[in-house]
Amino acid sequence: MATIGFIKQKGGVGCSTLAFATATEYTRATWDVLVADLDTKQTTCFKRQVRRANRDFEPHINVQVFPTVDQAIRQADKYDLTILDTAPHATRATAQVAEVADLLIIPTGLALDDLEPTVKLAHELRKNGISQDKIAVAFCRTSGSEREYLEAKEYIEEAGYYHLDGQMHEKPAFRIASDLGRSPTESQYKGPREQAIQLVQSIIDRFNQIAG
Ligand SMILES: Nc1ncnc2c1ncn2[C@@H]1O[C@H](COP(=O)(O)OP(=O)(O)O)[C@@H](O)[C@H]1O
Ligand SMILES: [Mg+2]
C-alpha cells in the first residue's frame, strides 16, 4: 500500500490540480490508482473526473469521495497507489494524512503570504512526529519571475525542507485543461504541459527515493 498526500493551509493554490495530475501520470504508467477526494465541499478531483468521463477521455481516473481519512485508508490496500487530496484548514484530516502517507506534497505560491503558512504547516507536522524527509513543497500558480522563484526556493531550503523541481505558472491553459476534465500534463499547450510533466516527474522521483 503506497500513499501520497496532498495537504495545504490555504485553498486555491492548485493542490487538487497537482493531485489529479499525479494520479493521471501513475494511471498512464499502468498503476492501479485511487484518488481519495477528501474535500467533500469542493470535490474538485471528482468533478474533474466526471467532466473527463463525459468526454470519453482516456485513461479513466478512479476518483472517489470520502468524508473521512479512515474510510479512504480502508480502501487503500486494494490499490497500487492511493492519492489523498485534502481540504484546506482540515486540521484533523491533514494530521491523519500526514501520519499514513509515504510522501506529503505541500503546494505553495511564491509570495510570503503563501510561503509562511507552508513552512508553518511543515513545522507543525514535524512537531507531531512527522519525518522531515516525507515533506516536499511544490511551487504552483507561480508568476514566471525567475527571481521570485529562486527566492522562494531559498526560503524553503533555509526552513529545512525539500522542494520539488520545476513549477506550474499561473496560466489559462491549466484552467482550460481542468474545464475539459484533463490533467495539466495533458494540456494541449506545449509549454504548460511540459511544466506540469516536469513537476509530476519530480514527485515520482521523490517518491521512488523515499518509498521505493
Ligand atoms: N497553474 C495554474 N494556473 C491557472 N489556474 C490554475 C492553476 N492551478 C490551478 N488552477 C485553477 O485554480 C483553481 C483552484 O485550483 P485547485 O487545484 O482546485 O486548488 P486547491 O485544491 O488548492 O484549492 C481551479 O480553478 C484550477 O483550475
Ligand atoms: Mg482542492
- Report pLDDT digits (tens) over 137-195: 999 999 999 999 999 999 999 999 999 999 999 999 999 999 999 999 999 999 999 99
- Residue 140 phi/psi, 5° resolution? -130, 155
Q: Which protein residues have their CB within 5 A of the ion that is ligand 2?
A: 15-16, 39, 44
Q: How far apart are CA 43 and CA 50, in angstroms?
A: 11
Q: How confident is the model at residue 155, as a pLDDT?
A: 98
The whole domain housing 146 covers 2-211
What residues flank ligand 1, with Cβ below 6 Å?
A: 8, 11-17, 44, 140-141, 168, 170-171, 174-175, 178
Which among 17, 197, 200 is the best mutation to test ligand 1's pocket, defined by most ligand atoms within 8 Å of the CB? 17
Q: How confident is the model at residue 1, as a pLDDT?
A: 84
- State the CATH number of the domain containing residue 81: 3.40.50.300
Q: How confident is the model at residue 115, as a pLDDT?
A: 97
Q: How confident is the model at residue 116, as a pLDDT?
A: 97
* Ligand nearest to the backbone CA of 40: 2
CA atoms within 13 A on the CB side of 48: 29
In the chain, what percentage of residues exceed pLDDT 70? 100
The residue contributing the CA closest to ligand 1 atom 13 is 12
Residue 124 burial by Cβ neighbours in a 10 Å radius (0-12, 13-18, 19+): middle
The DSSP symbol for 142 reads E
How far is the centre of ligand 1, averaged over its atoms, from the C-alpha of 129 (Å)?
A: 30
Strands (E), 79-188: 81-85, 103-108, 135-142, 162-169
The residue contributing the CA closest to ligand 1 atom 18 is 16
Q: Is the pLDDT of residue 28 over 90?
A: yes
CA atoms within 13 A on the CB side of 42: 18
* Ligand nearest to the backbone CA of 87: 2
Beta-carbon contacts of residue 20 (< 8 Å; ≥ 6 apart): 35, 44, 45, 48, 49, 61, 63, 85, 183
Q: How confident is the model at residue 212, as a pLDDT?
A: 67
Q: Give the pTM.
A: 0.98
* Ligand nearest to the backbone CA of 109: 1
pLDDT-based confidence at residue 5 (cuts at 50, 70, 90): very high
> Per the structure, how many domains does the chain have?
1
Q: How confident is the model at residue 109, as a pLDDT?
A: 97
The residue contributing the CA closest to ligand 1 atom 15 is 14
Q: How confident is the model at residue 9, as a pLDDT?
A: 87
Asked, as a colleague might, if the bond just before 67 is cis with ω within 30 of 0, I would say no
- Report pLDDT digits (tens) over 101-146: 999 999 999 999 999 999 999 999 999 999 999 999 999 999 999 9
pLDDT-based confidence at residue 89 (cuts at 50, 70, 90): confident
